[in-house]
């Protein structure tokens, strides 16, 4: 039997940059009775706090089995003595950050895909990851569902984001530039992706690849969940949090 069920966050446990649905909170409680559960995302820790940990249904008493991996596992948090504790973080230096931010600005400018209307900061320093959000970090917060729709429509086939990546990457060859979420480009140290996070948690929990089931919405080649599958972890692709709910219900039914 699997020991760890790992989930992508955006598009898998919740709609992009949105609150964890209560139904998912309730199902996670049940899952935490039987498995270690990891949530891994390109998003920063604050997003986990705002969108996941605020869920009223989630049972704090079960957090000892919950593992949070923001920014693709370059940070890792566990729950001990009634609070979330950072196990480690792997952050950029000041000069590395400056170099990356300049490259993102230049590449985005050159792409011609910069929109006139944007919402909040475009470039966000996530300490161990720098992220360009082409429409701005706050679009969902400011526009709600309409914002999500705009995000979904902006670049559904990743074409624009790939062009931006191709312009930025040569400027900072020592780092890795890749498509993040719907409208984001992530820069990390090379080799940092969700597979990296999975390796880290395997070390920490002393488990093997075979012990993990990963559930995500972007498992196709080029997607931000693909590295986990390519690494050889059993992976299940879903296309919405509702499908994730069905997947969790199925897991719970099977183990009964």
Torsion (CA) 24, 178, 160, 184 in degrees, nearest 10: 40
State the Cα angle at 127 between 121 and 128, rounded to 5°.
Answer: 120
Work out how close the CB of 8 gets to Mg ion at its nearest, in angstroms, rounded to a whole number. Answer: 4
CB atoms within 10 A of CB 187: 28
Cα 136 to Cα 225: distance, rounded to the nearest angstrom:
23
- Which residue has 């760890």 as its token pair? 4
Interface mask toward Mg ion for 103-132; x: CB under 5 A: ------------------------------
**Binding residue count for Mg ion, defined by CB under 5 A:** 4
Question: Maximum Cα–Cα distance for the chain, whole Å?
Answer: 56
DSSP 14: B
Interface mask toward Mg ion for 197-236; x: CB under 5 A: --------------------x-------------------
Q: Which of 5, 6, 7, 8 binds Mg ion (CB under 5 A)?
A: 8
Work out how close the CB of 105 gets to Mg ion at its nearest, in angstroms, rounded to a whole number. Answer: 25
Query: Is 10 one of the binding residues for Mg ion (CB under 5 A)?
Result: yes
Task: Check: CB of residue 154 under 8 Å from CB of residue 200.
Answer: no
Work out how close the CB of 215 gets to Mg ion at its nearest, in angstroms, rounded to a whole number. Answer: 10
Give the residue nearest to Mg ion (CB): 11
Interacting residue ranges for Mg ion, rule: CB under 5 A:
8, 10-11, 217
């Amino acid at each position: 039997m699997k020991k760890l069920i790992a989930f992508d966050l955006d598009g898998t446990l919740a709609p992009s940059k949105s609150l964890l649905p209560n139904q998912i909170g309730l199902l996670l409680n049940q899952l935490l009775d039987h498995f270690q559960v990891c949530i891994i995302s390109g998003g920063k820790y604050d997003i986990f706090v705002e969108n996941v940990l605020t869920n009223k249904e989630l049972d704090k008493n079960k957090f000892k089995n919950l593992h949070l991996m923001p920014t693709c596992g370059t940070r890792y948090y566990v729950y001990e003595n009634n609070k979330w504790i950072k196990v480690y973080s792997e952050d950029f230096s000041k000069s590395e950050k400056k170099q990356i931010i300049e490259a993102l600005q230049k590449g985005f400018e050159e792409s011609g895909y910069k929109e006139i209307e944007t919402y909040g900061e475009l470039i966000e320093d996530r300490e161990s990851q720098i992220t360009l959000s082409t429409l701005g970090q706050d679009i969902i917060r400011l526009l709600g569902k309409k914002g999500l729709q705009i995000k979904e429509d902006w670049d559904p086939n990743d074409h624009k984001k790939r062009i931006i990546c191709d312009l930025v990457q040569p400027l900072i060859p020592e780092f890795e530039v890749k498509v993040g979420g719907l409208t984001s480009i992530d820069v990390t140290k090379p080799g940092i992706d969700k597979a990296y996070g999975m390796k880290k948690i395997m070390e920490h929990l002393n488990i093997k690849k075979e012990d993990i089931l990963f559930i995500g919405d972007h498992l196709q080649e080029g997607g931000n969940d693909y590295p986990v599958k390519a690494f050889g972890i059993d992976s299940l692709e879903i296309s919405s949090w509702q499908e994730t709910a069905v997947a969790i219900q199925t897991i719970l039914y099977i183990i009964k």
